[in-house]
Amino acid sequence: MSFQDSFQKLAKEAVKLVNGVKVVGLGSGTTVGFIVREMAKLPNKESIEFVPTSLQIKLEAEKSSLRIADENRIPDIDIVFDGADQIDSKFNMIKGGGGALLREKVLISAAKKVVIAADASKFVQTLNRSVPIEVHPMARSSVSKKLIEIMGQPLLRTLDKGYPLITENGNLILDTSFPSITDPKKKEVEVKNIAGVVEVGLFTRTADIYYKAKNDGTFETIAFQ
């Protein structure tokens, strides 16, 4: 038994939530990949439109013969499925490890229902990992300076060969460590107010359902109704 078994089981459970919905948002990452592959087995999948956040998940959805909808369907999203890099005891999240934080936040803010799946190690007492911050290339230096002024330690995300990672929106990512994040909502607003910051990987909307995958092949469901 492993996390993979847990994710396969929770994916089977998660797809039951699309019963009767018309538009589904798809976040990014391996967790969502499991859910997309389960969606492929739905008998009524032809009647559902899917809005992906990343090319990786769009390709996975196309492979699963899911109907891809364009951006004008985002206001109509009934439910969105996504993963998380870290979730604190109050269910604030850090996301953006895969670089799709802007699109993920757009979908999560628009969706009527949000479902998050992550392995148990991602659930922590307090957020304590670096926060991905998507920045316009022109503002890289000025944003870095401002982040340092508010006690941040920004690090430009690069690819294996040292080239800067460019997001699907044409921006850069500064992975920024803070000494502590005691108030994620306040920190989200503070960083977002820096000119040149496009989006910040602090997600403070509480999801409706969290699936916590365990390494013994089981999962726990935490639901807010």
Q: Which of 129, 118, 123, 115 is nearest to 91 (CA)?
A: 123
> How far is CA 114 from its chain centroid?
11
Residue ranges for the chain with pLDDT beneath 50: none
- At residue 123, what is the residue type? F
Position 1 scores a pLDDT of: 61
Catalytic residue flag (residue 104)? yes
What is the full DSSP assignment across 163-196?
PBP--TTS-EEEEEE-S--S-HHHHHHHHHTSTT
C-alpha to C-alpha distance for 85 and 88, rounded to whole angstroms: 10
C-alpha to C-alpha distance for 122 and 133, rounded to whole angstroms: 19
Position 225 scores a pLDDT of: 67
Which residue in 104, 134, 188, 199 is the catalytic one?
Answer: 104
211 DSSP β-pair partners: 117, 221
CB 126 within 8 A of CB 44: no
Q: Name every residue whose Cβ is closer than 8 Å to that of residue 119 and which is 6 or more positions away in sequence.
A: 3, 6, 7, 212, 213, 214, 215
DSSP H or E run through 133: strand 131-135
Set out the domains of the chain in order of their start, with CATH numbers.
Answer: 3-124+204-223 (3.40.50.1360), 131-201 (3.30.70.260)
